[in-house]
Amino acid sequence: MDSLPLLLEGFAAALTPMNLLYVFFGAMLGTAVGVLPGLGSSMAVALLLPVTFTLDPTGAFIMFAGVYFGGLFGDSISGILLNTPGNSSAIASTFEGHKMALSGRAAQALATAAIGAFSGGLIATTLVAFGAPLMAEMATLFGPAEYFALAVFAFVAISAVVADSVLKGLAALLIGLAIAFVGIDAQSGASRFTLGIPQFFDGISIIVVTVGMLALGEVFYIASRRHHPTTALITTQGRPWLSLREMRQAAPAWLRGTAYGLPFGVIPVGGSEIPTFLAYGTERRLDRRRRHPMFGRGAIQGVAAPEAAGNATAGTAMGALLTLGLPTSSTAAIMLAAFVQYGMQPGPLLFETNGDLVWTLLASLFIGLVVLLILNLPFAPLWAKLLVVPRQYLYSGIALFAALGVYASGGSLADVFLLIGIGLIGFLLRRYGLPLAPVLIAVVLGPLAETELRRTLAISEGDATALISSGITITLYTLLAAAMIAVAIVRLRQRSRVDV
């Protein structure tokens, strides 16, 4: 394996006292943002992106690594203690996690989540480190038609398969695609949907969309429902360590969860929602066969598996981003913006052009995971104290940070007004139960999808069959059709059951 010496070099570059300080701060800030209800890891990365602009690339990436995994873990803290998962990826581990907390085992639930996140992330990052060069080689097989197929796969999967109503999912997707159109068309140079306003020529930044949709939308929504009842925060006590017996119960679940999570980082279905639920479902079925089923009363496996799955997905998603240049979640998309900021173009060539930085980043991911484990195993309950801050100040702070992040990253007032507009759309979507993930995926992959579609059609001179002329594209579309049929059958069954 020639990856090992390169990785070790990466560690050498990443392991300086200053960088350790960055990853430490990143992990702290990421966890803090992740803990806040409604804000997840993608928000953490979006809000802290402007901060990292002032650092050198190595320092910035190492901080990102901390923010990235820290945000994911923060999601689960609020889920377990408050029954409000910070992100859709933390919903699955909330079911049993909150029940554990209710039965006085909050500290153990948090520890299970922390170790699960660590092991899932560790295995995934190891795979990425040693498999990435291979994947980059495979990626050279991908032409315009294949990339378009991948994007279509992502769009349909997230709007039709993941969302609970196909129409609502599609509506969210189309809104995202429309947002992505604004700006100068790179291929022809035509100005599109900008109303001639120069500030719009560069398009609407993914940061504005993420912060507006997630943070502002949430603040508006919370305000509109402020008379609705709230749940109480559970205080944690007792040992944050797991007994040997608990370890024995959780260990296989961590591994099973990781196995679910790994492939989903590479498949663009919008992050870790599907694998976390698959992992949860499996554990539940396994539990039914046991002599003393624990599900419904706070089963440790119900926390361990989804948590490991979520972080495994996040880990391999990084691999897909680095080697294919394909962001499979909004978090990855914001990271992509960071890469571009430093003049790096993720894709098959990245390992040759920016090899040293990539290996440093991969090493930083490992360091970030370790720092998080150290930080979170004993201190997770402390993070939860953030939730004791009075709600009006918590959300005022979020609003202030949202405005700061957007203004600082673009330095333009137009972005602040856009932020308000997108926040209002986000509010509307929340209010009427439309999923937000398709909007973000569409903004991320929309430009890629359009470019590749036009390239394919230009090469084939308008022959649409060029879109399905290779083995890879046929496989992707077949998989997609199969998934859709499966979902349709499941939904029809559920419907007939309800009617009876």
Partner 1 sequence: MNTHDTPTQAGAATDQLPPEPTLDPPEALEEDQPVRLDELAVPALLVAIGGYLTYGLVTMEVPASASWPGPGFFPTIITGLLFVVAAAMTVQILRAHRRTHPSERARDEGPPTDWKATGTIVAAFLLFAAVLVPLGWILAGTVLFWGVARGLGSRRPVFDLLVALGTSCLIQLAFSAGLGLRLPPGILGWF
Residues 31-50 that bind partner 1 (CB under 8 A): 37-38, 50
250-258, 335-343, 356-364, 452-460 -> range binding partner 1 (CB under 8 A): 452-460
Closer of 50 and 355 to partner 1 (Cβ): 50
- Residues 231-260: x/- map of binding to partner 1 (CB under 8 A)? x-----------------------------
Q: What are the CA-CA distances from residue 335 to residues 47, 122, 318, 328 (Å)? A: 12, 19, 9, 11
Q: Is 444 exposed, middle or buried (0-12, 13-18, 19+ CB in 10 A)?
A: buried
Closer of 34 and 348 to partner 1 (Cβ): 34
Distance separating alpha carbons of residues 383 and 200, to the nearest angstrom: 39
Selected binder of partner 1 within 2, 17, 245, 462 (CB under 8 A)? 462
Closer of 174 and 247 to partner 1 (Cβ): 174
Selected binder of partner 1 within 4, 197, 382, 420 (CB under 8 A)? 420
The amino acid that residue 86 corresponds to is: G
135-143, 256-264, 349-357, 385-393 -> range binding partner 1 (CB under 8 A): 385-393
Binding residues among 56-115 for partner 1 as defined by CB under 8 A: 82-88, 91
C-alpha R_g of the chain: 22
- Smallest distance from partner 1 to CB 397, Å: 6
Distance separating alpha carbons of residues 309 and 226, to the nearest angstrom: 34
- Smallest distance from partner 1 to CB 288, Å: 25
Binding residues among 271-310 for partner 1 as defined by CB under 8 A: 273
DSSP structural state of residue 409: H
Binding residues among 191-210 for partner 1 as defined by CB under 8 A: 191-193
Q: Coil, helix or strand for 326?
A: coil
Asked if 400 is part of the footprint of partner 1 (rule: CB under 8 A), the reply reads yes
Selected binder of partner 1 within 15, 32, 399, 483 (CB under 8 A)? 399
- Smallest distance from partner 1 to CB 227, Å: 4
- Residues 165-194: x/- map of binding to partner 1 (CB under 8 A)? x-xx-xx--xx-xx--x---x-xxxxxxx-
Q: Coil, helix or strand for 48?
A: helix
- Smallest distance from partner 1 to CB 41, Å: 13
Residue ranges of E strands in 112-220 = 183-184, 191-192
Size of the site for partner 1 (CB under 8 A): 90
- Smallest distance from partner 1 to CB 437, Å: 6
Closer of 390 and 471 to partner 1 (Cβ): 390
Q: Is 399 exposed, middle or buried (0-12, 13-18, 19+ CB in 10 A)?
A: middle
What six digits make up the tokens of 247?
């370890």
277's CB contacts (< 8 A; 6+ apart) are 91, 92, 306
The amino acid that residue 310 corresponds to is: G
DSSP structural state of residue 2: -
Q: Coil, helix or strand for 432?
A: coil
DSSP structural state of residue 472: H
313-321, 323-331, 348-356, 394-402 -> range binding partner 1 (CB under 8 A): 394-402
- Smallest distance from partner 1 to CB 251, Å: 29
Asked if 230 is part of the footprint of partner 1 (rule: CB under 8 A), the reply reads yes
- Smallest distance from partner 1 to CB 23, Å: 16
Asked if 465 is part of the footprint of partner 1 (rule: CB under 8 A), the reply reads no
Closer of 156 and 362 to partner 1 (Cβ): 156
2-10, 302-310, 391-399, 485-493 -> range binding partner 1 (CB under 8 A): 391-399
Binding residues among 422-451 for partner 1 as defined by CB under 8 A: 423-425, 427-437, 449-450
- Smallest distance from partner 1 to CB 443, Å: 13
Q: What are the CA-CA distances from residue 384 to residues 34, 49, 74, 85, 492 (Å)? A: 11, 24, 9, 12, 41
CB 282 within 8 A of CB 260: yes
Distance separating alpha carbons of residues 412 and 197, to the nearest angstrom: 13
CB 14 within 8 A of CB 357: no
